[in-house]
Structure 1
Amino acid sequence: FDIFALSSDSEQQPISVMEAMAAGLPVAAPMVGDVAHMVAPDNAILLGEPGSEAGLIDNLRRLASDPALRAALGAANRAKAEAEFDERKMIERYASLYGRAMGRPEFGR
């Protein structure tokens, strides 16, 4: 695939977006849930208003017609996914969070 499109009206932190980022894809999606915080900053140009079918179509057309943009945004998303959504790092963060909540900060180390 060359492009990841999300057309949801409601999301929180969609794993499908993380998977697309890890695969080095640009993401065209509405600004729902945490999507805007998840994608690389450069990819924000492809996030439209929730419920705007026309906006999503425009963003998909833009990506379809610009291979260099797809490659650049895909690379930026992959780098962000590796930095922030690496499985090992996420497990460490959850362990730390739960450890602090249980009054056992050493739990997350």
Structure 2
Amino acid sequence: PRLIPMCHPLPLDHVAIEFHLDRDESTVDIVASACVSARTGVEMEALTAASVAALTVYDMCKAVDRGMVITDIMVLDKRGGKSDWQRPDEEEPGLVSGDDSATEE
């Protein structure tokens, strides 16, 4: 069984997840990025990574605060595949970045 129907698995080249803590606001921003050499979109993989990371943070912290809320899961930008796209600057900062081009590290 697949996690997301009609979303085929991709051979990912790189996946990264960053956590940005704001103690004053009691928030955690999660940024997930994914890269693939194939000529296809990788947004679903990055969105899944960010979502699972957020669920993991919730599970680890629920004993402290059961009122936590997971919000604003979105694609920030996408490069490669059929088209490039970037969220306009005036919109709220998001949590997900997808890069379809392979990178060297």
TM-score normalized by structure 2?
Answer: 0.27
**Bigger fraction of residues in strand:** 2
TM-score norm. by structure 1 comes to 0.27
| Greater Rg by CA | 1
The structure whose residues are more often helix, as a share, is 1
Q: Which has the higher contact order (CA 8 A, sep 6+)?
A: 2
